[in-house]
Amino acid sequence: MNLSSRTQVAHLKLDRIIATKLILPSLLTGLFLTCEASYAYSTSSITNNITRNDLIAQNRGSCEQFLEALAIRETGQQTPPYDIENTLGFIGKYQFGETLLIELGYYQVENPYNGGGNGVDKNYWRGTWKGKNEINSREEFMQNKNGVQETAIKEAFSLNSNRISQILQENGRSIEEFIGQELQGAKITQSGILAAAHLRGETGVTNLLLKNEVSNDEFGTSILDYLKEFADYESCI
């Protein structure tokens, strides 16, 4: 090989080296960026999946499923109607009584049913409706005008929750102390507490938590049944 040929080969090798040095960092940078982006996407997906799985594991169902299960229990119907009334005059999909609707601002009567205490022996609905959410009669309430029954049950949950918290606070306790514990075989959860309060009121719940006192409704249903049956749902408040 003559000198000229050797010089050409040397230049060719040098060109290849330079090209490799320029291309290789670019390829590596692209590789690292691609890996990092994939890792970030994968991590995000895993985090989202963990969050969803944790929620599924902790919750038996959504707020809507909680309400449907409660309505089935209250009415005894697999497809709970809004216009149902029981033998004691409790009405609607969630079996509202006079006293509760008075407390929620929908209704007024001088002597309401209160579970066999000082009131009348059943809900007679002889009082007046106050026009809240445009409800002016028992018929409109039972027709679920303006979705009133779905609104009212959530208002009842909030009212009972606030009253329970207040009573516990007055006794130097808080609801957080009880959540997750077991009481006579029943796991204490927020949804279970709300269902139990719908059955026996805030006093029934606080007597259970503070005094281990179990009460039953007019048909013999135990507050513990509701605490167990409605545990671990999304609570709707």
User: Using one digit for the tens of pLDDT, what is the confidence trace for 132-159?
Assistant: 999 999 999 999 999 999 999 999 999 9
Residue 189 has pLDDT above 50, yes or no: yes
pLDDT above 70 coverage of the chain, percent: 75
| pLDDT for res 118 | 78
For residue 95, give the 3-state DSSP assignment.
Answer: coil
- Give a yes or no: residue 33 inside a domain: yes
Give the helix ranges, DSSP H, for 59-189. Answer: 63-75, 98-103, 138-142, 148-170, 175-178
> Which of the four pLDDT bands, split at 50, 70 and 90, describes residue 116?
low
Q: Which residues contact 127 (CB under 8 A, 6 or more apart)?
A: 98, 107, 108, 109, 110, 112
- Give a yes or no: residue 107 inside a domain: yes
Query: How far is it, in rounded angstroms, from Cα 179 to Cα 155?
Result: 22
Q: Which of 37, 58, 79 is the last residue of a domain?
A: 58
Query: How far is it, in rounded angstroms, from Cα 231 to Cα 186?
Result: 8
Assess whether 52 and 78 both reside in one domain. no
Mean pLDDT (the chain) is 83
Assess whether 141 and 190 both reside in one domain. yes
- Determine contact, residues 157/140, Cβ cutoff 8 Å: no
pTM of the model: 0.76
Q: Which domain holds residue 38?
A: 1-58
Query: How far is it, in rounded angstroms, from Cα 127 to Cα 16?
Result: 97
Assess whether 85 and 193 both reside in one domain. yes
Q: Which of 42, 58, 74 is the last residue of a domain?
A: 58
| pLDDT for res 1 | 53
Give the helix/strand (H/E) hosting 186: strand 186-187
Question: In this structure, what are the phi and psi dihedrals at residue 89, rounded to the nearest 5 degrees?
Answer: 80, 15
Q: How many structural domains does the chain have? A: 2
How many C-beta atoms surround the C-beta of residue 127 within 10 A?
17
- Average pLDDT (72-80) is 98
Nearest to 94 by CA among 188, 186, 157: 157
Residue 7 has pLDDT above 90, yes or no: no
How many C-beta atoms surround the C-beta of residue 178 within 10 A?
19
- Determine contact, residues 237/194, Cβ cutoff 8 Å: yes
- Average pLDDT (108-126) is 90
Assess whether 18 and 111 both reside in one domain. no
> Which of the four pLDDT bands, split at 50, 70 and 90, describes residue 59?
confident
Residue 101: CA atoms inside 13 Å, Cβ hemisphere, count? 32
- Give a yes or no: residue 113 inside a domain: yes
Assess whether 47 and 103 both reside in one domain. no
